[in-house]
Amino acid sequence: MSAILIDGKLVSAKLRGEVTEKRIEFEKKYGRKPGLCVIRVGEDPASVVYVRNKLRACEEVGFASTCNILPESYTTEQVIAEVEKVNADPTVDGLLVQLPLPKHIDEARVVAAVAPEKDVDAFGKLDAGHLCLDEGNVLPCTPAGIMEMLKHYEIPVAGKECVVVGRSNIVGRPMAALLLAADGTVTIAHSRTPDLGAVTRRADILVSAVGRAGLITGDMVKPGAAVIDVGMNRNAEGKLCGDVDFDSVKEVAGYITPVPGGVGPMTVTMLICNTLYAAENAEK
């Protein structure tokens, strides 16, 4: 029997409907729309697509949105100066700098320059600290989206074995923190983990966020597990795929996310949720 498909588009549409209702109330109360600004440096093709999707999501829920496109030749100092301009703009509630930046730019310094109250990506050190202390209100978008999908499909976390493959600051580490906060028993695996399959086969909830096509195969999955695929890769034929070998894993897992149409839509939707929260906080 094949696994139940976790439909990120479905969950995303539900949440965006709720955000739209809250935006209408916000606009009536404060006479303005929540505002998001995206700073993009250069013309990286993937970044162009991701930014377009974010701006479309803003339009869908009725937010104000802008994209400041900077030349690839900009220095770290010039990008930070642009960030500081947006930090000072009272019409902007949420600010994100689209990553990755060109290699000559100091990414850490640019991310650190985003005002904490406008950091809707939740990449800054203050948000990371809040998350580790289980005090986070604005959460990293991809891990937060995954938690919303688990909630929607009534997949329990408390008391379950959870394995996160990947230890990035964007997905792996915050994902582990959120599962731990939900009372899961959490293991983080990574490129140095010996016998990865022995670890992943313990998981009731398995999240793979490595960026390696076909890494997780059916023989590495516990029967009935919920498998969440964060990977965005291209296979030998150029087709979009995740970290999970979908065809073999779906025959073993209880739940599985597709690529595309799984985690991706939820990441953008949680960005919208974070922007609404930042707007409400700004009015307080």
225-267 pLDDT, tens per residue? 999 999 988 887 878 889 999 999 999 999 999 999 999 999 9
Chain mean pLDDT for the chain: 95
Query: Residue 96: in which H helix or E strand, if any?
Result: strand 94-97
What does the pLDDT read at residue 124? 86
From 93, 98, 243, 245, active-site residue: 98
Residue 169 is assigned to a structural domain of this protein: yes
Say if residue 252 is in the same domain as residue 195: yes
Residue 77 lies in a domain: yes
**Residue with more model confidence, 136 or 190:** 190
Question: Tell me: the pLDDT tens digits for 116-162?
Answer: 999 999 988 888 888 888 877 799 999 999 999 999 999 999 999 99
Phi and psi, residue 44, nearest 5°: -55, 125
Assess whether 44 carries a catalytic annotation: no
Whether residue 3 is contained in a domain is answered as no
Average pLDDT of the residues in 58-68: 97
Q: How many CB atoms lie within 10 A of CB 75?
A: 11
Q: Which of 33, 54, 222, 250 is catalytic?
A: 54
Q: Which residues pair with 84 in a beta bridge?
A: none
Catalytic-role residue among 93, 121, 127, 229: 121
Confidence check: pLDDT of 1 > 80: no
pLDDT of res. 90: 95
Same-domain status, 106 and 193: no
Domain that holds residue 250: 141-264
Q: pLDDT over 70 for what percent of the chain?
A: 99
> Do 174 and 140 form a contact (C-beta atoms < 8 A)?
yes
As given in the structure block, the two tokens for residue 160 are 């379950």
